[in-house]
Amino acid sequence: MAASTPAASRERRWSLAGKTALVTGGTKGIGYRVHSPPSPEALVAAARAALGGRLDILVNNVGQTLFGAAAACAAEDYARIMATNLESCFHLAQLAHPLLLGAGGATASVVNISSVAGFIAYPALSVYSATKGAMNQLTRSLAAEWARDGIRVNCVAPGGVRTDIAGSSGVALEPGAARAMEEREAARVAMGRIGEPEEVASLVAFLCMPAASYITGQVICVDESVLSRGRLEECRGRRRKGSSVSYLEKEACLGWALCVQEEDRIYFGALELEHKSRMAAASRARRWSLAGKTALVTGGTKGIGRAIVEELAGFGVRVHTCSRHDADLQDCLRRWNAAGDGGGAAALVTGSVCDVSVRGDREALVAAARAALGGRLDMLVNNAGQVVVGPAAETAPEEYARLMATNLESCFHLSQLAHPLLRNAAAGGGAAASVVNISSTAAFYAAPHLAVYSATKGGMNQLTRCLAAEWARDGVRVNAVAPGATRTDICDTSGVALGEETRRRLADAGAMDRVPIRRIGEPEEVAAAVVFLCMPAASYITGQVICVDGGRTLL
């Protein structure tokens, strides 16, 4: 995507109108929710003819599963699963490449449908899991190779989702066995339910949008934070005491009445039936809407933070933000309010002065946000951050302490302070609340002279996963967005004066020849990922760290 991204309208960045797509396996389950079956060559030829010779999007969704002991797997079963799940993905991508190459206006997109089985071990699913692990790495490799062609390649890895993949794979399961599998999967996840096809399809659609133009090579799980067997035992113990479990359980008209009395089958079944009915009733417009929601965004007057504030406000969210400097804050508030005269979205922004490295300031910030937002908080975006650049051996203790307090402690403490508000919003609003932490790709690769900064972001990533697992029962989803090189002034705002040697090392670490898309990112491209993660459309995504880096972490 060209550097004109900031000038593009919000409507255009969030629209797929007029685009063309080929979706394999589109008559059932996940594929039906996003929409072929002779040879791959015939399929692509048919799509070319039907779509007027143009193809913007390829979704490799078709797949089959194979249950059984690895030692007993027949050679023909192995070959069939490999051909269906993996070879077809590669071959169709090859065949579609010339058409995707010719798509005009914006980058074309390939999205492969993988599985959490590519990450965690499932007994009796070794061959299926191997195909998904291979697909994940194929995604990364194609993303690195095809970025120069203007083609982004990403992967969506669903957890347990309500589909009939076993039946469509020719696997006959007794009703009791199928039900038991569903219950076991529900017990492994933090929210205590399996996902719906629409929740996977929403992420696929987002990854194809211009709003996701700096995201490539990512494998994103839609799995509601898969947990261990201990989750089920904990739920059982809390149900015996009659204590609250989660907002979903409380609002389930049948489920809450039964869950403290009945066995797991009724308990989880009631939750899932209730959720399915809510999903069916929710229109596409509602799943992609944030109108009327409230958010606290730290560090919202510059760079990525300002883009997040403006994107949220543009979706009708009432935002409270902060800055260390009152002059910067007032300047932004004046500009936003001027843009919002006559009821515009920008008039929904309020702010207060806060140094997030100071504990008392953080407490005052949450109190100010509570007052400004009418006592309700649906979203927290921990964006404020600073950088310390220099040799690790020469980092002063006060620099270390300041960076840890600003980047990591503030993220944890503000999440703690916001938790009661977020939990209450989820319980009363019918949709999960959301925390999004702004991390960095510096947590994934080593950059000279950024040791402490990188450590804070690595800590933030693991904190994100842990809070996601712990707070899902409260209806609070927690994710992180990790930008790569982005057009901001973080060094200047951190008071960092870079020496010539440090500048040279950083320039080498972030050289554009290591970024497959071959350009720096824009704040709006990071903001779009944050906004999507806050939407009901992302309701089954938690504990994920999504890199918005043009593919930098691939190389």
At 439 the pLDDT is 98
How far is it, in rounded angstroms, from Cα 316 to Cα 345?
6
Is the Cβ–Cβ distance between 469 and 223 less than 8 Å?
A: no
Token pair in block for residue 84:
């269906």
Q: What angle do CA 226, 227, 233 make, to 5 degrees?
A: 140
pLDDT at position 447: 83
Q: Mean pLDDT across the stretch 507-526?
A: 82
Percent of the chain with pLDDT over 70: 74
The average pLDDT across 395-411 equals: 96
Assess contact for 43 and 28: CB atoms under 8 A: no
Q: Are 518 and 512 in contact (CB under 8 A)?
A: yes
Whether residue 489 has pLDDT greater than 50 = yes
For the chain, the domains span: 17-26+37-222, 286-548
Residue 539 is given by DSSP the state: T
From start to end of 263-403, where are the E strands?
A: 294-297, 318-323, 349-353, 379-382
Q: 64-78, 100-114, 285-299, 462-476: which has the minimum mean pLDDT?
A: 100-114
Task: Extract the tokens encoding 168.
Answer: 């469509």
- As a whole number, the mean pLDDT across the chain is 82
**Digit-coded pLDDT (tens) for 247-286:** 232 222 222 222 222 333 333 344 444 455 455 445 778 8
For residue 273, what pLDDT is reported?
Answer: 46
pLDDT > 80? residue 555: yes
| 526 CA to centre of own chain | 11
Mean pLDDT of 462-467: 96
Give me the mean pLDDT over the 450-458 stretch.
95
Q: Which of 18-32, 121-135, 250-264, 320-334 is modeled with the greatest confidence?
A: 320-334
Name which of 449, 460, 467, 480 is nearest 549 in CA terms.
480
Query: What single-letter DSSP state applies at residue 102?
Result: T
Per DSSP bridges, beta strands 108-113 and 349-353 are unpaired
Supply 109's token pair: 């997109």
Pairing of strands 21-23, 318-323: unpaired
Give residue-wise pLDDT tens across range 162-182: 765 444 444 555 566 556 656
Q: What is the pLDDT of residue 384?
A: 97
Whole-angstrom Cα distance, residue 387 to residue 89?
A: 41
Please give the order of strands across the beta sheet that includes 318-323.
349-353, 318-323, 294-297, 379-382, 433-438, 476-483, 545-548
Q: What residue type is 128 in one-letter code? A: Y
pLDDT bin (cut points 50, 70, 90) of residue 514 is: confident
Mean per-residue pLDDT for 43-63? 95
**Looking at domain 17-26+37-222, what is its CATH homologous superfamily?**
NAD(P)-binding Rossmann-like Domain (3.40.50.720)
Q: Maximum Cα–Cα distance for the chain, whole Å?
A: 71
Top pLDDT among 502 and 219 is at 219
Contact in structure between 261 and 196 (CB atoms under 8 Å): no
Distance between CA atoms of residues 436 and 545, nearest Å: 9
Residue linked to tokens 């009631």: 270
Span 278-299, average pLDDT: 83
CB 548 within 8 A of CB 481: yes
Which range has highest mean pLDDT (57-71, 186-200, 296-310, 499-513)? 296-310
Q: How far is CA 266 from CA 192, 251, 272, 274, 540, in A?
A: 12, 16, 10, 12, 22
Looking at the predicted structure, is the pLDDT value of residue 325 above 60? yes
pLDDT band at 448 (very low <50, low <70, confident <90, very high): confident
User: What's the pLDDT at 169?
Assistant: 45
Q: Is there a common fold for 17-26+37-222 and 286-548?
A: yes
Q: Are 162 and 194 in contact (CB under 8 A)?
A: yes
Mean pLDDT, rounded, for 378-388: 96
Q: What is the structure's pLDDT at 184?
A: 63
- Among 37-46, 164-173, 381-390, the range of highest mean pLDDT: 381-390
* Calpha distance 157→200 (Å, rounded): 8
pLDDT in tens, 360-369: 999 999 999 9
* Catalytic sites, residue numbers: 453
Kindly state the tokens that stand for 8.
């593009």
Mean pLDDT within 197-226:
92
pLDDT over 80 at 516, yes or no:
yes
Residue 29 has what pLDDT?
58
Return the CATH superfamily for domain 286-548. Answer: NAD(P)-binding Rossmann-like Domain (3.40.50.720)
- Asked whether the predicted pLDDT for residue 39 surpasses 50, the reply is yes
Q: Give the tens place of pLDDT for each residue, 246-258.
A: 323 222 222 222 2
* Ramachandran assignment for 440, one of left (phi > 0), alpha (psi -120 to 50 degrees), beta (any other): beta
pLDDT of amino acid 97: 96
Encoded tokens for 386: 């600073």
Return d(Cα 297, Cα 383) in angstroms, integer. Answer: 7
